[in-house]
């Protein structure tokens, strides 16, 4: 049985507007990641300084979440997947 593929077409304007929309990567508090691991991931993957990464870890701990990056949906999805592979709880808004 052949598989049907539905083709979608977009105008250049639609594609470019999607790239311009800003999305945020949200890091959520959880009960299994340590401060050290969160800080390590922020430094390694997002190029934060140790001080910046420590502030993020503390904000997530005290407030439950923190926006850690802003950009296109595609860019946020890439970082979401990387950080999820490290065990962090992250979403894109």
Residue 21 pLDDT > 80:
no
pLDDT for 25-75, tens place per residue?
A: 999 999 999 999 999 999 999 999 999 999 999 999 999 999 999 998 888
Euclidean distance between CA atoms 35 and 55, whole angstroms = 10
Q: Name which of 88, 6, 93 is nearest 46 in CA terms.
A: 88
Domains of the chain: 22-92 (3.30.1390.10)
| pTM across the whole model | 0.78
pLDDT band at 3 (very low <50, low <70, confident <90, very high): low
Q: How far is CA 73 from CA 17, 22, 39, 93, in A?
A: 11, 7, 24, 9
């Amino acid at each position: 049985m052949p598989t049907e593929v539905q083709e979608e077409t977009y105008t250049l304007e639609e594609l470019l507007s999607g790239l311009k929309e800003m999305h945020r990567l949200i890091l959520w508090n959880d009960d299994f990641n340590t401060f050290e691991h969160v800080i390590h991931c922020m430094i390694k993957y997002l190029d934060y300084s140790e001080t910046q990464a420590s502030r993020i870890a503390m904000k997530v701990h005290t407030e439950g979440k923190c926006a850690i990056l802003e950009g296109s949906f595609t860019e946020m999805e890439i970082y979401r997947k990387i950080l999820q592979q490290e065990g962090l709880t992250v979403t894109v808004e």
